[in-house]
């Protein structure tokens, strides 16, 4: 799976954005060797209750398929298929009937259903004339597109488009950030409140309170010892990748990754070339490599096994120097979110009650991620980044993969025990 690149012109330095073309109920670790029949990757997962959910599978043929269950994974129905997006797919379901699926990238498409996926209406996303980086819907009618625009393969501007009629018409709300900053993802809590994933020369998040018409910078507190500063004589300033997203109510979670400017052909520093996932071009022993990091801010699975297979790429479970933050008042104040480990994924029941799941471990927080009570020896598989979906205090789902073999895991007792749910065999 080759990587193509769309350049982003920022002053005299070229930042780039990659286009990556990414039996029920057995307890984990009960003795039998678990070998799922499927051989594909998961791009999205969404469950609305303990029984009804959808996953998007990406096949070796570069097609995607939407799979649906109404009986907690006992059986699955293939509902929708198409050509996968350059940077994946987006899925959001609001109840058992209404949902949207979007293909991202240069051939973007929006599909919606009113009957639980039995039938779909699909239309190309040609608004803005650019490359669709991100899609966010808060209900069947209200949604946003983040579009990168340019010519001759070079992106020069970004635009945020808003719909109130389910994608029939769109209004361009302009660029959500000012150069030299760039946005990578949009996340909305409701029709008014939203946050961005961005690359900035300052450790600032971006927030809106009016549905994306106006955005404000939100300064984030420095960790002990302060934020790193580019050394004197560096060709450009320090950069900060900031992934800010609403949890529930007034809650907000943010990940900040400081990125030093490159120092010649040394292993120090690098250049961000895109998200998702967070990809940095750097030198290793004088050889130019692309390093791919998972972050606290990841919200959906991505093509981890495809990335691992790429020549000259390495997948790192945690970004160096990453700072995790939590706010319970809409971003007015922040505290360090001391996650149990960088190797895992998190979710939330409400603004204060968070869960974290890692390999063989599970933990809960009752203060918005600042302190944790941990339970280990659960024999859970490694969760895919951003795949944890919490239904209530007792029920949750997450996705995992063993190479290209996908599975789901679910709990019905508040995370104390987890069970594997196999996914069906698919043909191209």
Whether residue 10 is contained in a domain is answered as: yes
SS3 label, residue 184: strand
Whether residue 331 is contained in a domain is answered as: yes
According to the model, what pLDDT value does residue 152 have? 46
Give the domain range for residue 380: 4-422
Alpha-carbon span 358 to 60, nearest angstrom: 27
DSSP state of 128: G
Task: Of 203-217, 224-238, 301-315, give the lowest mean pLDDT range.
Answer: 301-315
Q: Which tops the pLDDT comparison, 320 or 231? A: 320
According to the model, what pLDDT value does residue 293 have? 82
Please state the separation of Cα 324 from the chain's center in Å.
15
CATH number reported for the structural domain that contains residue 194 in this entry: 2.130.10.10
Whether residue 145 is contained in a domain is answered as: yes
Query: pLDDT, tens digit, for every residue of 283-307?
Result: 776 778 788 888 888 877 765 544 4
Q: Mean pLDDT over residues 122-142, rounded?
A: 91
Whether residue 427 is contained in a domain is answered as: no
DSSP E strands in 220-371: the ranges are 239-246, 252-259, 271-274, 278-284, 287-293, 313-316, 323-327, 335-336, 344-348, 354-358, 361-365
Q: What is the mean pLDDT of the chain?
A: 82
Whether residue 428 is contained in a domain is answered as: no
Q: Which tops the pLDDT comparison, 20 or 144? A: 144
If we measure between CA atoms, which residue out of 412, 361, 365, 363 comes closest to residue 383? 361
Alpha-carbon span 264 to 271, nearest angstrom: 12
Structural domain tally of the chain?
Answer: 1
User: With pLDDT > 90 as the criterion, what percentage of the chain qualifies?
Assistant: 52
Q: Is residue 393 predicted with pLDDT exceeding 80?
A: yes
Whether residue 16 is contained in a domain is answered as: yes
According to the model, what pLDDT value does residue 127 have? 75
According to the model, what pLDDT value does residue 277 have? 81
Query: pLDDT, tens digit, for every residue of 27-66?
Result: 333 222 333 444 788 889 999 999 999 999 998 888 999 9
* Residue linked to tokens 């650019």: 130
According to the model, what pLDDT value does residue 230 have? 66
Q: Mean pLDDT over residues 121-127, rounded?
A: 90
Task: Of 215-224, 291-300, 308-317, 337-346, give the lowest mean pLDDT range.
Answer: 308-317
Q: Is residue 402 predicted with pLDDT exceeding 90?
A: no
Name, in order, each residue with C-beta under 8 angstroms of 398's C-beta and a sequence gap of 6 or more: 45, 345, 357, 383, 384, 387, 388, 389, 408, 409
Binned at pLDDT 50, 70 and 90, residue 321 comes out as confident
Tokens of 416: 């104390």
Binned at pLDDT 50, 70 and 90, residue 93 comes out as very high
Name, in order, each residue with C-beta under 8 angstroms of 1's C-beta and a sequence gap of 6 or more: 20, 21, 62, 303, 306, 309, 310
Whether residue 228 is contained in a domain is answered as: yes
According to the model, what pLDDT value does residue 32 have? 29
Binned at pLDDT 50, 70 and 90, residue 158 comes out as very high
Alpha-carbon span 48 to 414, nearest angstrom: 17
Q: Is residue 396 predicted with pLDDT exceeding 90?
A: yes
Whether residue 384 is contained in a domain is answered as: yes
According to the model, what pLDDT value does residue 6 have? 28
User: With pLDDT > 70 as the criterion, what percentage of the chain qualifies?
Assistant: 81
8 Å CB contact between 47 and 53 = yes
Q: Mean pLDDT over residues 9-21, rounded?
A: 29
């Amino acid at each position: 799976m080759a990587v193509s690149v769309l350049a982003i012109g920022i002053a005299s330095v070229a930042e780039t954005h990659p286009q990556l073309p990414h039996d029920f109920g057995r307890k984990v670790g009960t003795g039998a060797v678990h070998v799922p029949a499927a051989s594909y990757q998961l791009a999205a997962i969404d469950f609305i209750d303990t029984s009804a959910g959808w996953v998007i599978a990406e096949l070796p043929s570069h097609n995607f398929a939407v799979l649906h269950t109404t009986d907690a994974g006992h059986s699955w129905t293939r509902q929708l298929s198409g050509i996968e997006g350059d940077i994946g797919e987006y899925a959001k379901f609001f109840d058992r009937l209404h949902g949207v699926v979007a293909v991202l990238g240069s051939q973007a498409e929006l599909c919606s259903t009113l009957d639980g996926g039995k039938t779909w209406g699909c239309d190309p996303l040609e608004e803005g004339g650019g490359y669709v980086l991100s899609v966010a819907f808060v209900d069947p009618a209200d949604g946003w597109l983040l579009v990168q625009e340019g010519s001759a393969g070079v992106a020069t501007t970004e635009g945020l488009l808003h719909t109130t009629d389910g994608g029939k018409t769109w209004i361009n709300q302009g660029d959500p950030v000012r150069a030299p900053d760039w946005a990578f993802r949009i996340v909305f809590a409701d029709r008014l409140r939203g946050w961005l994933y961005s690359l900035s020369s300052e450790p600032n998040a971006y927030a809106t309170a009016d549905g994306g018409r106006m955005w404000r910078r939100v300064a984030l507190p420095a960790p002990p010892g302060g934020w790193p500063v580019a050394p004197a004589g560096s060709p450009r300033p320090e950069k900060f990748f900031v992934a800010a997203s609403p949890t529930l109510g007034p809650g907000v979670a943010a990940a900040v990754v400081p990125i030093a400017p490159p120092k010649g052909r040394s292993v120090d520093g690098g250049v961000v070339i895109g998200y998702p996932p967070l990809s940095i071009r750097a030198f290793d022993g004088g050889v130019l490599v692309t390093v791919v990091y998972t972050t606290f801010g990841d919200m959906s699975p991505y093509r981890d096994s495809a990335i691992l297979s790429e020549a000259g790429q390495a997948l790192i479970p945690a970004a160096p120097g990453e700072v995790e933050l939590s706010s319970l008042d809409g971003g007015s104040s922040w505290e360090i979110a001391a996650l149990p480990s960088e190797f895992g994924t998190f979710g939330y029941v409400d603004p204060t009650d968070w869960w974290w799941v890692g390999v063989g471990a599970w933990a809960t927080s009752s203060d918005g991620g600042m302190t944790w009570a941990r339970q280990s020896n659960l024999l859970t598989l490694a969760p895919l980044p951003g795949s944890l979906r919490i239904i209530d205090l007792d029920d949750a789902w997450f996705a995992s993969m063993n190479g290209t073999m996908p599975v789901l895991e679910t709990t019905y007792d508040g995370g104390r025990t987890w069970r594997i749910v196999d996914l069906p065999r698919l043909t191209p």
